[in-house]
């Protein structure tokens, strides 16, 4: 039986950050990663250049049923702390738009940075771990194809359900159920929108066109479906998630930062209102 103070399941952005910080505090840390390499989603992030933080990050930009969690987390570790880490590793960066910071070269630099922090902290990383199961609580007993482990603290950093090809699995949700941790029903966020029927045909014809728009989600309480005409009557609807960013027509629907943002606020039955001339009076 191997023992670690802290065992982390998942070697993505969250797991590696957690591992390095815990290791630097003098704890013995083991990371169990399911795929053949760590940080695969980081590699594809930001179109290969990882949008690693935002100058305007604050708790109001996070959707959570517990907003105080984001406030306390961000007050203890800010975008400036992460930027200092990036600069410590000599990674060149630039600001794109709206405070978004990207690597000049490659997302690989961010993975290398996290790996180097983990190595310096003596973290042990095991890849291609399969059939992970967790039994008793405190100390936890964890078993996988690499053997048996016990640990004082167990961190589940297996990420979300999207892109199983990158290693995503539902292990985190299964373990939450096993240990009676309350769960929010998972739903898609930061995703492009796809349509059928006439809206699909319109988007298809315009695919490749992009423009800055103002976009918002409107919901009418108690109504399953919002009629397009009711959107004009602003006092009868709740407007959430207002963004002024670029929208892109695609072969299947709508994408671009504006639509990715607003997708996180949309629920079935809500309408999405797109102002194609933000700040411009079309009549004039």
> Are 220 and 232 in contact, with CB atoms under 8 Å apart?
no
Nearer to ligand FAD, 62 or 223 (CB): 62
For 152, counting Cβ atoms within 10 Å of its Cβ (0-12 exposed, 13-18 middle, 19+ buried), the class is: middle
Shortest distance in whole angstroms from residue 9 CB to ligand FAD? 5
Shortest distance in whole angstroms from residue 280 CB to ligand FAD? 31
Nearer to ligand FAD, 42 or 113 (CB): 42
Q: Could you list the residues that contact ligand FAD (CB under 6 A)?
A: 9-15, 32-35, 40-42, 44-46, 50-51, 129, 132, 157-159, 163, 167-169, 171
Nearer to ligand FAD, 99 or 269 (CB): 99
Distance of alpha carbon 172 from the chain centroid: 15
Shortest distance in whole angstroms from residue 284 CB to ligand FAD? 39
Q: Alpha-carbon distance 70 to 76, whole Å?
A: 10
Nearer to ligand FAD, 27 or 40 (CB): 40
Shortest distance in whole angstroms from residue 87 CB to ligand FAD? 18
Shortest distance in whole angstroms from residue 160 CB to ligand FAD? 6
Shortest distance in whole angstroms from residue 185 CB to ligand FAD? 18
Nearer to ligand FAD, 44 or 209 (CB): 44
Measured from the Cβ of residue 260, the count of other Cβ atoms closer than 10 Å reads: 19
Q: Alpha-carbon distance 85 to 120, whole Å?
A: 14
Shortest distance in whole angstroms from residue 277 CB to ligand FAD? 29
Q: Alpha-carbon distance 173 to 185, whole Å?
A: 10
Nearer to ligand FAD, 220 or 255 (CB): 255
Nearer to ligand FAD, 26 or 47 (CB): 47
Q: Which residue lies nearest ligand FAD, judged by its C-beta?
A: 12
For 283, counting Cβ atoms within 10 Å of its Cβ (0-12 exposed, 13-18 middle, 19+ buried), the class is: exposed
């Amino acid at each position: 039986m191997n023992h670690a103070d802290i065992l982390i399941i998942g070697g993505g952005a969250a797991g590696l950050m957690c591992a390095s910080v815990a290791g630097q505090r003098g704890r013995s840390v083991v990371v169990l990663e399911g795929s053949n390499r760590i940080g695969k989603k980081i590699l594809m992030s930001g179109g290969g250049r990882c949008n690693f933080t935002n100058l305007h990050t604050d708790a109001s930009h996070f959707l959570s049923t517990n907003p105080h969690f984001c406030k306390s987390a961000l007050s203890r570790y800010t975008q400036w702390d992460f930027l200092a880490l990036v600069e410590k590793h000599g990674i060149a960066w630039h600001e794109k738009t709206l405070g978004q910071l990207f690597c000049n070269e490659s997302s690989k630099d961010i993975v290398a940075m996290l790996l180097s922090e983990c190595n310096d902290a003596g973290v042990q990383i095991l890849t291609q771990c399969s059939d992970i199961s967790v039994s008793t609580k405190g100390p936890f007993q964890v078993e996988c194809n690499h053997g048996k482990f016990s640990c004082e603290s167990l961190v589940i950093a297996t990420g979300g359900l999207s892109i199983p090809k990158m290693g995503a699995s539902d292990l985190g949700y299964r373990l939450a159920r096993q240990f009676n941790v309350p769960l929010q029903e998972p739903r898609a966020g930061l995703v492009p929108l796809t349509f059928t029927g006439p809206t699909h045909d319109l988007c298809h014809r315009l695919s490749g066109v992009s423009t800055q728009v103002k976009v918002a989600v409107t919901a009418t309480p108690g109504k399953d479906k919002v009629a397009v005409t009711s959107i004009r009557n602003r006092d009868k609807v709740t407007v959430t998630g207002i963004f002024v960013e670029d929208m892109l027509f695609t072969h299947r629907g709508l994408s671009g930062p504006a639509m990715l943002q607003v997708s996180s606020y949309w629920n079935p039955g809500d309408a999405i209102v797109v102002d194609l001339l933000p700040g411009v009076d079309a009549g004039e």
